Structure 1
Amino acid sequence: DAAAPVFTQPPAQLGSQSLSFSGLKGISVVTVPLADGSRIPVLKISADSITIDGFSLTVRKDTGPKLATTADQMALRGNVQVYVDSVTATGPDGKALTLGAATPPPADGLPPQLLRVTLGLVGVTADSIHFTNPHQHLTD
C-alpha cells in the first residue's frame, strides 16, 4: 500500500465489546513498510467510519512496561484505514470469525457489526479519531 504510513512492531492488541462499520469500502491484503526498512503483509480495512465500544488497547515492546488504554468508545471518522495482522470476532449470529493476511474474509462479506473483537493492530489512520472517557496507564 503506497499510501500507508511507516509502522512499528509488534502489533498492539485491541479488544472491544463491539465494532461497527459504516460505509465499508473494502478489505484487502496489502504490504506496509516498517521502521526497520522491511515490509509485512497485513489486512487493510477501509471504511467511512468505524465505532468501537468497550475499547481497550495494549501497546508493548520487547522489554519494559506496556501502555494500556481503555475508553467507553473509540470513533474513527472519514477516510478510515485500519491495518491489522489478525482479527477474531463473533458475528451477531454467534458465528466465530477469524481473519488475517493469510485468511481473507468470507465470500459473503462481513456483517456490519462484530462482537467481542480482538485485533492485532498494526496501525490506523482517519480524518478524526475521538475517545469517550479515555484512561491510560503503564503496566509491567
Structure 2
Amino acid sequence: MKYTVFALIGAAFLSGCATPAPVAASYLSRFDAKTSNALVSTCLLESKWPLYNSPEYRQAGERRRSQMRNSPGLEVRDMQAMCWSASRLPAEATAARCKDLIEVKKKRLGQRRAQHVERVADICERMTGLSIKTGS
C-alpha cells in the first residue's frame, strides 16, 4: 500500500514535467496573452486622452465629468472599438483602421496634440506588427 502511494505521487510529479502538445498555427495570435492584455489596456487608456484633456472636461463639475465619461464622443468610441477588436481582426485590417483614426485625430487636434498621435501610432504598430506612417 505504501509503495502504491509513492508510485502515484511520483507519477503525478512526472506528469507535471511533460511538454504540452503543439498548438496549431491557426490558433496562435499575433502576440501572447500578457502582451495582448497590456496593449489593449494601454490602447483603451490612450483612447480616453482627448476626453480627459478637453477644456470642457477640465472646467466641469464632478457630475458633468461623470456624464462625459459615461457617454464619450465618437472619436473615443471609435478608438475603443478598434482596441477591443484588434486581436480578432487581421493585422492589415487593424492597421488600415488605425491609419484612418490617426488621420482624423491629426485633422481634429492639429499640431498641438502631436504627442498623442505619435503614441496612438506606436500602440497600433505594436498591436499589428506593421509600420503606421504618421507623416507629421
TM-score, scaled relative to structure 2: 0.24
Of Structure 1 and Structure 2, the greater helix share is in 2
TM-score, scaled relative to structure 1: 0.24
Of Structure 1 and Structure 2, the greater strand share is in 1
